[in-house]
Structure 1
Amino acid sequence: MSLTLETHRAAAREMFLAGCGHAGQRLHALPADASARRYFRLEGQGLLLMDSPPGAEPLAPYLRVAHLLRGCGLSAPKVLASDIELGLALVEDFGHATYTRLLATGHDEEALYRLAVDALVRLHRAGPQAADGVPAYDGRKLDEEAALFIDWYAPLLVGEQAAARLRGAYLDAFATACREVALCREVLVLRDYHVDNLMLLEGREGVAACGLLDFQDALCGSPAYDLMSLLEDARRDVPEALRASLLTHYLDQRPEVDGRRFMADYQALAAQRHAKVLGIFVRLARRDGKLGYLDHLPRVLRLFREALDRPALHPLRDFLDCNLVPWRDELPAAALDALREPIL
């Protein structure tokens, strides 16, 4: 962010806080993530200031989805004040107990994951009504995301021109793989449902103990997506036995779901998400200088290979084997070194 823009945002934050009765409040900036959105803790107030620049991260979707989640009895932060035009909101501070921190300190892994699955069950039982007013996770959006692999990751393997020549056929192959799931409009899909965005909230019972973050990009689509996102995490390995147990736990609580259809959607969406994330992590490093995401590329590539080894995805796998021969291999050291070079 340029100095001029940051000065403007800082002035907007001060004005907004003054209007909320918190003039002169000292702010503590929280670590940034992959988006342009930023959070500041109001020390001792139990509140966060969300700075969501309107041109990059509109605030209205966050407000809408937070309302929908709370309507389902789930724990999205309460919004105490907001200004959509400024892109600022004062929201409840859930504290420090993210799943990521808890798991790093030895907290019961299975208990945390089962709680997260139970929260999804609650959301999914609410059906499409819980996605009222939210856009569809349709074929256009799925294609747009899958394209991140061919636009950002593949050029590191075969060069930009060769990747560009493959783009149309690659998207056709992905569209075929996702044809059925692209028609699904069953539940609110949070899209980044993983341990970095989940919290354990003390003093709350049942699924309300699972705090939800980073849901502003939610769409209406398949119930398989968020469960897959949780169990096939780009940032940490989930033991296979636990993954299988949690899948069973979810399906046992939703006997109305066609398990075969659910798993077909799960597998197609796993391939789509892992392709997308490979592209996003390269883009974050190359365009934004956020190099930490490169450490996760080997895991995501492994998950992508596993997804394409499922029989329904063999046509897509075969396309890549024939046309993007090095795709199975980790990025060459020279490509990684180039991504790590300082941005001029």
Structure 2
Amino acid sequence: MTIQQDDRLEALSGWLRETLRLAVEAVEPASSDASFRRYFRVYLDGISCIVMDAPPAKENVRPFIGVAALLRDAGVQAPEILAADEEQGFLLLSDFGTRSYLDCLNAISVDRLYGDALDALTRLQCGVDIETAGLPVYDERLLGVELDLFRDWFLDQFLGLVPEAAESVVFDDVKRLLIASALEQPKVCVHRDYHSRNLMVTERLNPGVLDFQDAVIGPVTYDLASLLRDCYVSWPLPMVEVWMAGYYTRLCEAGLVGSVSPDTFRRWFDLMGMQRHLKAIGIFSRLKLRDGKFGYLKDIPRTMSYVTEVCGRYPELAGFLRFLEKRVLPQIISDRLV
């Protein structure tokens, strides 16, 4: 840890012991994520809790507190907030344990675990009133900013690749296509990172849902694509299509997608996943270059494979696929990601 981080841990310990007057038996690292937040597991009389350390200069705990309430009111299992110091950036949370979906998913468990995750997603999308939730909108500007992460951080800074003029036009056309597809979809509450690292296996109300502070009002397929086209684990396409079709039926029954056809829903799902995956590749590159976090590089080939698969399915993406195959994929399969 750096000196600053040691100071944060000392302040956190003081908050627990002196302000909250808790009999802390032990504090141990629990996890970190792709932000500046850290999490510690604390033991109090044999009971474990989680403490979030969110440096106020970098993070704001208020969205986490607000979205946690929205999720819990909708019947989704978000952590209970046991104590909060918003000024210091500390939260004391209930503990979902150590078994993430990523750790527990296999050929035997996947249908059960994904079934639970899709049940929770249904409650999220049906149970949060988008008119009163007070969440930001996933608008054209934000969708575009996210797509630019691919060009700025992956192509430019990570690969050192400057697209030719014609290639830049192709990328701009892809941006417009993906943004238009996202904006034409029905709007729901979007977790925005609904995948195997942020879902915890729990005994009741499975899953426990984490990392939801960036929730927005946005496209109905976004979280579905995050779950079924996970950057950290992949499944055969026929399985994905069965899960997707089943969820489409749920949405139709709930009245969330109107009279949209299965083919249109599939296109929404594919293009929404592609937007997310291009963004994720940019973020993985930024984590390495800016934050010194190398562990996400190994997930770029899997994530890129989703992009090329979707490009191969839609003729209007053929030009972008040619660019990837000619200029990008040869570098990915080199030793650059090692």
TM-score band, normalised by shorter chain? 0.7 to 0.9
Aligned equivalent of 2:50: 48
CA contact (8 A) 1:147 1:171 kept: no
CA deviations 1:44-79 (Å, max 9, x no partner) are 323111111122221011111100000101100000
Whether 1:30 aligns to 2:30 is yes
TM-score in terms of structure 1 length = 0.86
Q: CA deviation at 1:83?
A: 1.4
- Structure-1 separation of matches of 2:194 and 2:313: 23
- Between 1:24-33 and 1:122-131, the stretch displaced more is 122-131
Aligned equivalent of 2:300: 297
CA deviations 1:151-203 (Å, max 9, x no partner) are 1211368735547996676345302332142355621111111111112211x
Identity of aligned residues (%): 35
- Structure-2 separation of matches of 1:123 and 1:197: 15
- Between 1:29-38 and 1:68-77, the stretch displaced more is 29-38
Aligned equivalent of 1:341: none
The size of the alignment, in residue pairs, is 329
Tell me the amino acid that sits aligned with residue 48 of structure 2.
Answer: G
Equivalences for 1:197-276 in 2 at 5 Å?
Answer: 197-202=198-203, 204=204, 208-255=205-252, 256=255, 257=257, 258=260, 259-276=262-279
- Structure-2 separation of matches of 1:196 and 1:252: 26
Equivalences for 1:96-111 in 2 at 5 Å?
Answer: 96-103=98-105, 108-111=109-112
- Structure-2 separation of matches of 1:90 and 1:163: 51
Q: Structure 2 unaligned runs (5+)?
A: none
Change (3 A) 1:158 1:15: closer
- Structure-1 separation of matches of 2:164 and 2:284: 17
Equivalences for 1:284-323 in 2 at 5 Å?
Answer: 284-311=287-314, 314-319=315-320, 321=322
CA contact (8 A) 1:191 1:226 kept: yes
Change (3 A) 1:223 1:101: same
CA contact (8 A) 1:153 1:278 kept: yes
CA deviations 1:4-51 (Å, max 9, x no partner) are x21331232123213222265521111322221111111232311111
Change (3 A) 1:189 1:169: same
Aligned equivalent of 2:64: 62
CA contact (8 A) 1:77 1:91 kept: yes
- Structure-2 separation of matches of 1:276 and 1:324: 19
Aligned equivalent of 1:16: 15
- Structure-1 separation of matches of 2:291 and 2:158: 20
SS at match of 2:270: helix
Aligned equivalent of 1:340: none
SS at match of 1:97: coil
CA deviations 1:214-267 (Å, max 9, x no partner) are 111111101201111111111111122321121122122222322444323212
Tell me the amino acid that sits aligned with residue 115 of structure 2.
Answer: R
CA contact (8 A) 2:52 2:91 kept: yes
- Between 1:161-170 and 1:60-69, the stretch displaced more is 161-170
- Structure-2 separation of matches of 1:142 and 1:36: 22
Tell me the amino acid that sits aligned with residue 13 of structure 1.
Answer: L
Aligned equivalent of 2:84: 82
- Between 1:149-158 and 1:118-127, the stretch displaced more is 149-158
SS at match of 1:125: helix
- Structure-1 separation of matches of 2:140 and 2:6: 40
Change (3 A) 1:332 1:264: closer
Aligned equivalent of 1:342: none
CA RMSD of aligned residues (A): 2.6
CA contact (8 A) 1:128 1:185 kept: no
Whether 1:277 aligns to 2:280 is yes
- Structure-2 separation of matches of 1:164 and 1:83: 51
Aligned equivalent of 1:6: 5
Greater helix proportion: 1
- Structure-2 separation of matches of 1:135 and 1:300: 27
- Structure-1 separation of matches of 2:159 and 2:39: 39
- Structure-1 separation of matches of 2:135 and 2:272: 19
Tell me the amino acid that sits aligned with residue 187 of structure 1.
Answer: V
